Homo-oligomer: A and B are copies of this chain.
């Protein structure tokens, strides 16, 4: 088996074990030995493919981000052709809500990483600015489309509304994650919000 082994396949196999350990025991409790045991390989092999623990942690965050992007893309591609702005926003909300185990795992680890990045200089804190920024731009774009199609009022401030929407989505997601809200109550709240957003066609001043 040695020589000619797919490095990327090997790395992603180890990263899968990393995610499992991190989700089960907490990001802070991840150790190279625990990841090795989870993957069924030796400590040395984890070192071989990620060099240091910092390398593994950084790769873990990158993998998390990639996974999230794929989930969003899959969800949006599953929509009917030319979906309405509201349908698209609903899909973005649904994929962000930590309902299934994989989604809950993502939320837990993403937030843990975000907090870690605030004290640990080895974790890039740009990720937690750039990634939400991209989502916010996407939402702003959806809102613009909604304005063009007459679904939303043309006077609606897309940038401001996008900021509110992404914060609301994130806030409701966290509330569901910690168990303060149920998926149902969070969804009703979001739908109610969309109702008013669509209904407030004449703005407020």
Contacts and interface: CB of A to CB of B under 8 A. Distances in A.
Interface stretch (A10-18, A63-71, A76-84, A163-171): A163-171
B170 A174 contact: yes
Interface residues of A, number: 54
Nearest to A110: B115
A156 to B, nearest CB: 10
A130 B69 CA distance: 33
Given A29-B119, A192-B157, A200-B200, A129 B179 contact: yes
B167 A175 contact: yes
A132 B129 CA distance: 25
Contacts of A203: 199
A160 B64 CA distance: 32
